[in-house]
Amino acid sequence: MLDVKRLEQIKINRDKIKSIISTVHFLGKQNISLRGHRVYSDVVETSDVNEGNLREFIRHRIETCGDDLILKNHFETASVRNKYISPTIQNQLINCCGDEILNSTIEKIKKSKYYSIIFDETTDISHKSQMSLIVRYVDENCKICGDFLGFLDCHQENYDFTHEPLLTGKILGQTVIAFVNRICLPVHNCVGIGTDTCSVMLSDTKGAVSEIRETLINAIASPCYNHSLNLSISKATNVQAIRNTMGTIKETIAFFNSSAKGTKLLSSSIPNN
């Protein structure tokens, strides 16, 4: 009887967390943040205070979806500490969803066998240096796919508190290799490396690509053509005629952007194809 009761409780708890996870999944799919700048309460109840998208959406489901009795009963009977909607639990659920998506993507990559990696390092709005990593491969339907695998903290394993932290090509390359090994992708099946054309990436002696190719020996470096085009345009601006043309284009764009009437007239003058 104790075992039966325990199994029943496990099933009930799983059904509760499934309803919350489905809400997290919905908000993530719609690219909606789970909470706002502040969280005012740990109890989902009728309130005039906006408690964030996740809490408000759960409250809406309880009030309008009468068939979701499990979720309604959970928030009516559970204690404050057992509602599974605190910021800590929300972050844990997001990480779990991210792990599932990453594992699913890795399985697709392994089925396709060969793949290429594309990465770039930048500083986000919070002044944190991050590297984005994308994998391109051909799926079972012969369709070219490019899947985002995540952001990597370039300073996480290479930060020295006694000196100024530097991001060299060697550090960037080692960060990529460590991530590829961590997600267990076969290194010999990587056939391409896509980066921009800066010296940190493509230097023959200390570049990130050179560091990566010591491990991914079958990968061929493929610089970004858009980046090369930008550099070409930048160099071409030394020519007087091209510099005048770029200036005229910028003035034309600024003219229409500054006038709603001008934009309307422009759109009406362009034939719809």
The predicted-structure confidence for 143-154, as pLDDT tens digits, reads as follows: 999 999 988 887
In this model, does residue 137 exceed pLDDT 90? yes
Residue 116: CB atoms within 10 Å: 18
Task: Mark whether 176 and 222 lie in a shared domain.
Answer: yes
| Structure confidence at residue 163 as a pLDDT band (50, 70, 90) | low
62 lies in some domain: yes
| Structure confidence at residue 192 as a pLDDT band (50, 70, 90) | very high
Task: Mark whether 79 and 126 lie in a shared domain.
Answer: no
pTM of this structure: 0.69
Q: Are 94 and 28 in contact (CB under 8 A)?
A: yes
Task: Mark whether 137 and 192 lie in a shared domain.
Answer: yes
Task: Mark whether 130 and 152 lie in a shared domain.
Answer: yes
Torsion of CA 123, 176, 216, 225, to 10 degrees: -20
Provide the β-strand partners of residue 129: 123
- Of 84, 22, 23, the closest CA to residue 53 belongs to 23
Instruction: Go through the chain and tell me how many residues it has.
Output: 273
Residue 139: give the domain boundaries.
106-230
The token pair at 95 is 């990480």
* Higher pLDDT among residues 198 and 110, named by residue: 110
For 175-194, b/e burial (b = at least 16 CB within 10 A) is bbbebbeeeebeeebbbbbb
63 lies in some domain: yes
Task: Mark whether 137 and 248 lie in a shared domain.
Answer: no
Task: Mark whether 79 and 133 lie in a shared domain.
Answer: no
Domain count, the chain: 3
Q: Are strands 144-153 and 129-138 parallel, antiparallel or unpaired?
A: antiparallel
Provide the β-strand partners of residue 119: 133
> Per mean pLDDT, which range of 13-17, 38-42, 251-255, 257-261 is the poorest?
38-42
